[in-house]
Structure 1
Amino acid sequence: MRSTTAAHSARALRSQGALAVLRFVHAHPSATRADASRALGLSSGSATEITARLKAARLLDEAAPPRTGGRGRPSPVLAPHPEGPLVCVVDISHERWRVACVELGGGVLDSEQGRHSGSADVVGLLAGRVTAVHARHGRRLRAVSVSVAGTVRGTTIVQASGMGWRDVALEPLRPPGVPLLVGNDASLAGLAEARRGAGAGARAVLHLTVEVGAGGILVVDGRPVDGATGAGGEFGHMPFGDPALECPCGARGCWDLAVDGRAMARSLRRPQPRDPRTAAERIVARARTDPASREMDAVADAARALGRGMGALVNALDPDLVTLSGLAIDLAALAPDPLGEGYTAALMRYRRADPPPVRPSALGSLGTLTGAADAAFDVLLTNDGLTAWSAS
């Protein structure tokens, strides 16, 4: 009897636009039933009926909107159900980690973070944190989504040059019976930026970030173009740099080596820094306080190299616009002319009159967490995902 009831519930959720309403609410937190009706072309009666079924399935709820002080009784907003599905996001950067529990719509229920030494042993520590999240939320936890500063294939980090990792398996982060997704941090930040940030509303968005090296993703119609194995977007390993320089990835001439703290240190004839991100921050801070300094020259060189590679990618990928995050924002702000010179010089002639605009990130440090959560909800907000939720 129970299996028959679950099957009936799953069929009901898949019918009459229930998935469309859930996806709309996830993309537009605090939307009302009327908002969903207008956006999805539903009648008022259909929207009411679908909302009732989603509430019964513990997927959606309706809540009082924030008080505005205006007259009249405002409509309740569609909100995640207090017993609805959750995803656990694990964000591993070069020096820090973060574990967060995220609900439908992107709201963060709880979060903790810390620093790590760069050793892959941090995976064991994070496995314990994920296990605790699973114990706390039980069946509500529907996926674990990992963002990592490295090249990913499946659930394995095949290389993370900034941390010296090779072939690090992340399966220990998978609780029993819970799907595990792993993505590159720059790619996930680009996904979030295209959907919810500076690229929202554009069809094709090229996102670029500079931290230790360069990375990013092309997002088309809200979907990342991430290749056959998930390793797409490793723009930093395209040969836009000096072919005499060997990258830790094994290739020569990588763009990585021309745009980050390592490039700035070479411009200043300093030893290669152990921590390129911190070195870049110090050089940028000095350039900001003294525009006539040698540090500003190093920033300008890196900005010009960023612009050249950006132009080459625009020629190849044809985006509507380019979004920037991380150190790339500092390079664009401090050295806009060198960046613009490199960008324009690399563009094909016909593009120069109207090049894709370049915009700074609107999400900042929340980009990777937001993108990782969205990638997980993309899997959950499907027919199979709702069937599994009903069966649970």
Structure 2
Amino acid sequence: MQPTTQPTTQPTTTAHSARALRSQGALAVLRHAHAHPSATRADAARALGLSSGSAAEITARLKAARLIEEDAPPRTGGRGRPSPSLVPHPEGPLVCVVDISHEGWRVACVELGGRVVSEDAGRHSGTPAVLDDLAERVADRRALHGRRLRAVSACVAAAVSGTTVVQASGLGWDDVGLEPLRPPGVPLLVGNDASLAGLAEARRGAGAGAPVVLHLTVEVGVGGVLVVDGRPIDGATGAGGEFGHLPFGDPALRCPCGASGCWDLQVDGRAMARTLGRPAPRDPRTEAERIIAAASSDPAASDAVAQAAHALGRGMGGLVNALDPEVVTLSGLATDLAATAPAALDDGYTAALMRYRRAAPPPVRPSTLGPRGPLTGAADAAFDTLLTEAGLDSWNAN
């Protein structure tokens, strides 16, 4: 005998499934609009396999929810009406990015699609006291934008775990919590700047379209991330990607991280200064820039750069053997090393590759986002948490 509850539960289940499908369709269109700024409704329909009617209905709901708008481009004089672009709603969600580098900071508000709508920047003394000033700036944006500000995403030149900077050799910070940056009721995300730059390059930059991207950057040491299908592989606590602390260097050298033989010590301004017989620089990045600039006219500087580029290439080859990326992207001083000493980098890279990889090694591409990479990646990481069913429910509930 059939349970008496079945006739009443079946319509409920069907209704729930229909709502879920509508939500998934809206999420798919919204994610497409975020990943492809100025895509048209027709573009989204083709990419997602939607009928024109479904795309129109979903777009209407997203417009009603103040998530996107359609912006008709100007007529060009040709036949037919130009397709309108899907653009962020002027009252839509924003995220606030706080970018803390070794010497400077940026605070920016970013809308869907990745456009920066406001930005401030400055320099800091290197102490955690800068967090008080940054917290005030975030609070000001919260007061200005109200409920539109949906998350704060901090990117830091440091090893991070959760919302804590566990170690930042360049800043001299250990176990510094970033909770002061969180306004009441607003989620806080914290990530390593190199990992977030890699996320941005994989989605919007030099690695776009490749399913597996290895990103490496050199600032003070080496950082990076492996991105698979647009998702960063950053470990159980978010501290993954500290490639510079792999033992690819001289085991006689002690790293500020506490380990010996770190790759960091072979590729940045400290390595180049050591090659030139100079004392360890207070600011390794500036020292590296000076030596790289001098390489065209100073043979000793040229040799120092070549040695660092060779060390970068060798480590890169080792990571390719281990991680099997389709493409390698470079940012920061890594691009300068590759441009100034390409033969040394290539020699190191090729020598470190397993024999079967040498015929067709993963291509190495310079960043297309440059210094905007960490900020772009931090914004995308924040929107990842918003472009979910729970994120849409929260937005619609306010």
TM-score scaled to structure 1, two decimals?
0.95
User: 2:108–2:119: 8 Å Cα contact kept in structure 1?
Assistant: yes
- Look up the equivalent residue of 2:342 and give its one-letter code: P
- Look up the equivalent residue of 1:167 and give its one-letter code: D
Query: For residue 80 of structure 1, what is the aligned residue in structure 2?
Result: 88
Residue from 327, 338, 343 that aligns with 1:332? 338
- Look up the equivalent residue of 2:375 and give its one-letter code: L
1:378 and 1:331 mapped to 2: Cα distance? Answer: 33
User: 1:149–1:185: 8 Å Cα contact kept in structure 2?
Assistant: yes
CA deviations 1:269-296 (Å, max 9, x no partner) are: 00100000000111111113x1x52101
Aligned residues: percent identity?
79
Residue 157, structure 1, aligned to residue 165, structure 2: yes
1:175 and 1:153 mapped to 2: Cα distance? Answer: 20
User: 2:198–2:225: 8 Å Cα contact kept in structure 1?
Assistant: yes
Of structures 1 and 2, the larger Rg is shown by: 2
2:177 and 2:279 mapped to 1: Cα distance? Answer: 33
- Look up the equivalent residue of 1:44 and give its one-letter code: S
Greater length-normalized contact order (CA 8 Å, ≥ 6 residues apart): 1
Q: 1:17 to 1:277 in 2, by over 3 A?
A: same
2:125 and 2:77 mapped to 1: Cα distance? Answer: 50
Query: For residue 267 of structure 1, what is the aligned residue in structure 2?
Result: 275
Query: For residue 59 of structure 2, what is the aligned residue in structure 1?
Result: 51
- Look up the equivalent residue of 2:372 and give its one-letter code: L
Residue from 312, 315, 318 that aligns with 1:312? 318
Cα offset, 1:75, TM superposition: 1.3
- Look up the equivalent residue of 1:46 and give its one-letter code: S
Residue 302, structure 1, aligned to residue 312, structure 2: no
2:122 and 2:75 mapped to 1: Cα distance? Answer: 36
User: 1:16–1:50: 8 Å Cα contact kept in structure 2?
Assistant: no
Residue from 362, 383, 387 that aligns with 1:381? 387
1:102-121 equivalent positions in 2, closer than 5 A: 102-121=110-129
User: 1:303–1:338: 8 Å Cα contact kept in structure 2?
Assistant: yes
Query: For residue 200 of structure 2, what is the aligned residue in structure 1?
Result: 192
Residue from 171, 178, 187 that aligns with 2:186? 178
CA deviations 1:138-175 (Å, max 9, x no partner) are: 00000000000000000000010011110110000000
Residue 211, structure 1, aligned to residue 219, structure 2: yes
Residue from 133, 152, 155 that aligns with 1:147? 155
Q: 1:55 to 1:157 in 2, by over 3 A?
A: same
Query: For residue 4 of structure 1, what is the aligned residue in structure 2?
Result: none
Q: 1:391 to 1:12 in 2, by over 3 A?
A: farther
Unaligned runs of 5+ in 1: 1-7
Q: 1:70 to 1:304 in 2, by over 3 A?
A: farther
1:118 and 1:16 mapped to 2: Cα distance? Answer: 45
CA deviations 1:81-121 (Å, max 9, x no partner) are: 11111000010000110000000000111000001111111
Q: 1:241 to 1:15 in 2, by over 3 A?
A: same
Cα offset, 1:65, TM superposition: 2.4
- Look up the equivalent residue of 1:130 and give its one-letter code: V
Q: What SS does structure 2 have at the residue aligned with 1:78?
A: strand
1:185 and 1:70 mapped to 2: Cα distance? Answer: 46
Q: What SS does structure 1 have at the residue aligned with 2:392?
A: helix
- Look up the equivalent residue of 1:30 and give its one-letter code: S
- CA RMSD, Structure 1 to Structure 2 (Å): 1.5
User: 1:173–1:180: 8 Å Cα contact kept in structure 2?
Assistant: yes
1:299 and 1:253 mapped to 2: Cα distance? Answer: 19
- Look up the equivalent residue of 1:309 and give its one-letter code: G
Q: 1:165 to 1:16 in 2, by over 3 A?
A: closer
1:12 and 1:222 mapped to 2: Cα distance? Answer: 24
User: 1:13–1:19: 8 Å Cα contact kept in structure 2?
Assistant: no
Cα offset, 1:15, TM superposition: 2.8
Query: For residue 360 of structure 2, what is the aligned residue in structure 1?
Result: 354
Residue 372, structure 1, aligned to residue 340, structure 2: no
Q: What SS does structure 1 have at the residue aligned with 2:216?
A: strand
- Look up the equivalent residue of 2:193 and give its one-letter code: D
Q: What SS does structure 2 have at the residue aligned with 1:166?
A: coil
Q: 1:99 to 1:70 in 2, by over 3 A?
A: farther
Query: For residue 3 of structure 1, what is the aligned residue in structure 2?
Result: none
Query: For residue 265 of structure 2, what is the aligned residue in structure 1?
Result: 257
Unaligned runs of 5+ in 2: 1-15
Cα offset, 1:72, TM superposition: 4.3
- Look up the equivalent residue of 1:251 and give its one-letter code: A
Cα offset, 1:391, TM superposition: 1.0
Residue 280, structure 1, aligned to residue 288, structure 2: yes
- Look up the equivalent residue of 1:247 and give its one-letter code: C
CA deviations 1:169-216 (Å, max 9, x no partner) are: 000000001000000000000000000100000010000000000000
User: 2:23–2:389: 8 Å Cα contact kept in structure 1?
Assistant: no
Cα offset, 1:73, TM superposition: 2.9
Cα offset, 1:74, TM superposition: 1.3
Report the number of matched residues.
Answer: 382
1:272 and 1:182 mapped to 2: Cα distance? Answer: 30
Query: For residue 5 of structure 2, what is the aligned residue in structure 1?
Result: none
Q: What SS does structure 2 have at the residue aligned with 1:254?
A: coil
Residue 224, structure 1, aligned to residue 232, structure 2: yes
User: 2:70–2:85: 8 Å Cα contact kept in structure 1?
Assistant: yes
